[in-house]
Amino acid sequence: MLVVGSKLAPTDTAFETTKLLDPKRQTLIHIEIEPKNVSWTYPAGVALIGDAKVALVQLAEALLAEGGVAEDKKAALRADLQTARAQHGFFDAVEFASNAAPILPQRVIKALQQAVANDAIITCDAGENRIFMTHYYQTKGPGTFLQPAGVGGMGYALPAALAAKLIYPYRQVIAVSGDGGFAIGLNGLMTALEENIPVVSVVFNNGALGWVKHGQGERNIACDFHNFDHAAIARSIGCEGIRVEQPHQLEPALQTALASNKPTVVDVHTSLSETFAKVTSPLVGERG
């Protein structure tokens, strides 16, 4: 099992179930740039300390030097991969084409995927919106998808987008957050306006802390919000703001926002019917 750039934390390993990873039956080859992360959670049979890209190139060269992989084996592996992709709906979820309102988060993600440039930088927030993004959004290039996975910091998306836009002023930069995370960092809009940093902020506005609400089950505590219009809040500050309540409004709103030369908020009324449990591994909770 080749592990690249992961601490193999509980959330990376279906809470350490041996049905997924078991050093007693698998040899783990762990590539990590940070030495302390290797064998932190699982004992690595082979530890490779270094940059992931460099290490993978060196492994590929070493494999070729040993004769590589036979063509019939490659063909079989490719066929298995395509079968698995078809079975699991590899970036082809039926929800991408949904016309439901409130809008399904998958529908928003598909529209965003199609609207942004190949070198656009996406910054994610914490919470259920990030889980949906990591599952359904297909990155277009290296270094284009930033998220606070290590600590899960709410309010990360907008300030991260501001920093990315300062470093890459000629690239599209889009912050994606839930309404909870956006509320924490929305003061960043003032900075964006004052410093002329034209980022786009897409808000999955479902009126709740989705991860908390769905995680609590039927006994919800302190996880519901008032029906705030974040687009109107953005306009009151002096930014652009677009409220989206129907699926057909998504594409025009995103195109307008990306073409604007001002900080712009696209506030999308999203559905609470979708839950992180839908994209959680069935192995979660199956210890041993």
Specify whether the CB–CB gap between 153 and 126 falls below 8 A: yes
pLDDT digits (tens, 9 = 90+) for 22-63: 988 999 999 999 999 898 888 899 999 999 999 999 999 999
Query: Cβ–Cβ contacts within 10 Å for residue 87, how many?
Result: 8
* 119-146 pLDDT, tens digit each: 999 999 999 999 999 999 999 998 999 9
Whole-prediction pTM: 0.89
> Does the fold of domain 99-277 match that of domain 2-68?
yes
Domain 2-68: give its CATH superfamily: TPP-binding domain (3.40.50.1220)
Closest CA to 189 of 224, 233, 126: 233
3-state class of 236 per DSSP?
helix
Domain limits, the chain: 2-68, 99-277
Give the architecture-level CATH label for domain 99-277: 3-Layer(aba) Sandwich (3.40)
Q: CA-to-CA distance for 243 and 57, rounded, in angstroms? A: 46
Chain segment 92-101, per-residue pLDDT in tens: 899 999 999 9
